[in-house]
Amino acid sequence: MFRNSVLLTLGFVLAISCRPVMETTTAGEAGLATPASRANSLSDQEMHAFINRGYVRYSDFGAIGDGATDDMPAIVATHDFANEHALPVRADEGFAYYIGGRDLTATIQTDTDFGAASFIIDDTDLENIRAQVFEVTSSMEPFALEGITSLKRNQTNIGVTLPGPALVQVTDDSVRRFIRFGRNQNLGSPQTDIFIVDADGNVDMDGPIIWDFDRISDVLALPIDEVTLRVTGGHFTTIANQAESRYTYHNRGLGIRRSNVVVDGLEHHVIGEGDHGAPYSGFINIGQAANVTVSNVLLTGRKTYETIGAAGLPVSMGSYDISVNRSINVTFVNCRQTNDINDLTYWGIMGSNYSKNLVYDNCVFSRFDAHMGVANGTIRNSTLGHQGINAIGTGIFLLENSRVYGRSLINLRQDYGSTWEGELVIRDVVFVPFGGRTASASLIGGRNPGQHDFGYPTFMPHRIIIENLHIDDSNHPEGYRGPAIFANFNPDKTDKHHHEPFPIAITEEVVLRNVTTASGKPLRVSDNEFMFRNVKIIRE
């Protein structure tokens, strides 16, 4: 009966009555042809009719679309046929496809238009929490690259030729990076990098190699499709899982494992969240891909649950509707979320690792985040909510024509050393500290006492340019001395005798042009004047 109440909540108007949960049937159980048998029993005439029509629909392979019958086998069969015959897929207008908990994934290799159809993804009883519902893949297989024994940072050519352009993933498992500190502490991950090369082995220097690889344990080439694949439309609703609140991440969404992909006009809603549940790894989950654009989508922040972290202490679990991993040139344009970006009960909507050139353009999201590094990030024409901008990485981070409601304007994640090896450029921005709650404002947040080996030297941005920034610090505590450029990164560093085995390199220069505050108080350097005593402040 739970499913029926959910459907009523969704407001679906179906042509037939929905069955109770205990009566839900597959096509085979109802005495009809199953989708698999339907695909196998297609006559030559039917096959030619689909091919001549130029596309296939889920109903062609047995989908019912009544919001109660599990249509996932039919959806899988439709895409299998479409992939084999290079046909686009169109959802049936007015259908509500119910997707149950079976271990099935529909592989998308052709343009797919979900249109105005609805998809109900029921995660309350799953056979495999790692199984994506849809996965966009290339028809070209990855292959190992031979003859590469080492690579250097910023190397311009890898010394081998390829059949065509590829996304290259390289690993050295003898070196550990991103040795996390804090309640989710760990022993780090093998050194890895991803970059784009052309057929002659030339590296795209917009996303350069960022590590020296004196030894290589694995190097994989993922061919880049020349033709852009488009996934459009669709109204998706996830009935949230009711699992124990542990780090058992659920993958139930749209995985993108192919380069040159556009996702446009999709909506994702979440219902049925209770007082516990397992986290999600992103309804839009982009991995090992290049040149992906997500536009005009509406997504949903997930409820925050707690568990016990690696240090044996309670932690809030990250749960995402967007995840980007090992990917390059990923852009979100004109995107929003369904819930309040400043509601603290929902986790920040996005997380990423090992990626380069990530862009938000005209987006309203609760968070931008780079866990294990980003090389180059851009946020423009956007609004960021309560979890703000969290990043570590390299290159240039550009924030312009945007509004930010985080605790800091840009927070450099302390669990990975608060490191940014490069520049921050901030222009035409309004910063509302902590969403307007009582707060002492600091622009660059972070913390690094210099006592932990993160697996790499740590850096504060060597240069920060701030132009046309307004800080709305009107709601400040008693005794407030004005906003600071830098948070107190190391409260123990108050004189030259303090010992730091792993010191962070301090910012060299900050350029300030037209910085104003609602409080009328001037911008200070930091509460820790000694730590930042040598920073050159240029006021223009």
CA distances, 197 to each of 25, 144, 373 (Å): 49, 14, 21
User: pLDDT at residue 3 above 60?
Assistant: no
Rounded mean pLDDT, 362-367: 98
Query: CA 63, CA 254: separation in Å to the nearest integer?
Result: 19
User: pLDDT at residue 17 above 90?
Assistant: no
**Considering the chain, what is the average pLDDT of its residues?**
93
CB atoms within 10 A of CB 8: 10
Query: CA 510, CA 111: separation in Å to the nearest integer?
Result: 48
| Band of pLDDT at residue 238, cut at 50, 70 and 90 | very high
* Residue 426, burial from CB neighbour count under 10 angstroms (0-12, 13-18, 19+): buried
pLDDT value at residue 42: 83
Rounded mean pLDDT, 387-414: 98
User: pLDDT at residue 84 above 80?
Assistant: yes
- Over residues 85-121, the pLDDT tens digits come to 999 999 999 999 999 999 999 999 999 999 999 999 9
- Name the percent of the chain lying above pLDDT 90: 91
pLDDT value at residue 46: 85
- Between 22 and 475, the more confident residue is 475
User: pLDDT at residue 353 above 80?
Assistant: yes
Q: Which residues contact 291 (CB under 8 A, 6 or more apart)?
A: 224, 259, 260, 261, 328, 329
- Over residues 463-490, the pLDDT tens digits come to 999 999 999 999 999 999 999 999 999 9
- Between 289 and 36, the more confident residue is 289
Rounded mean pLDDT, 253-264: 98
- Over residues 177-209, the pLDDT tens digits come to 999 999 999 999 999 999 999 999 999 999 999
Query: CA 30, CA 32: separation in Å to the nearest integer?
Result: 6
Phi, psi of 449 (to 5 degrees): -70, -5
| Band of pLDDT at residue 9, cut at 50, 70 and 90 | very low
- How would DSSP label each residue in 466-527? EEEEEE---S--TT----EEE--S-TT--STT---SSPEEPP-EEEEEEEEESS-PPPEEES
User: pLDDT at residue 41 above 80?
Assistant: no
Adjacent-strand bridge partners of 392:
none
- How would DSSP label each residue in 227-241? SPEEEEEEEEEEE--
CA dihedral 442, 389, 506, 467 (to 10 degrees): -70
As given in the structure block, the two tokens for residue 188 are 């780090």
Residues of the chain with CATH 2.160.20: 229-539
Adjacent-strand bridge partners of 516:
470
Query: CA 6, CA 527: separation in Å to the nearest integer?
Result: 52
pLDDT value at residue 417: 97
- Name the percent of the chain lying above pLDDT 70: 92
Helix (H) or strand (E) holding 46: helix 44-53
| Band of pLDDT at residue 44, cut at 50, 70 and 90 | confident
As given in the structure block, the two tokens for residue 499 are 């010992």
| Band of pLDDT at residue 35, cut at 50, 70 and 90 | low
pLDDT value at residue 34: 55
User: pLDDT at residue 6 above 60?
Assistant: no
pLDDT value at residue 27: 41
Burial 315-340 (b: 16+ CB within 10 A, else e): eebbbbbbbbbbbbbbbbbebebebe
Helices 72-85, 44-53: axis angle to 10 degrees equals 80
Rounded mean pLDDT, 295-317: 95
Burial 193-212 (b: 16+ CB within 10 A, else e): bbbbbeeebebbeebbbbbe
Adjacent-strand bridge partners of 219:
170
As given in the structure block, the two tokens for residue 109 are 């290799």
Q: Which residues contact 252 (CB under 8 A, 6 or more apart)?
A: 121, 123, 126, 129, 131, 132, 133, 238, 280, 283
pLDDT value at residue 486: 98
DSSP letter assigned to residue 202: B
Query: CA 210, CA 392: separation in Å to the nearest integer?
Result: 13
CA angle 179, 185, 188 (to 5 degrees): 25
pLDDT value at residue 105: 98
- Between 15 and 183, the more confident residue is 183
Class of domain 229-539: mainly beta
Query: CA 300, CA 303: separation in Å to the nearest integer?
Result: 9
Pairing of strands 166-177, 218-223: antiparallel
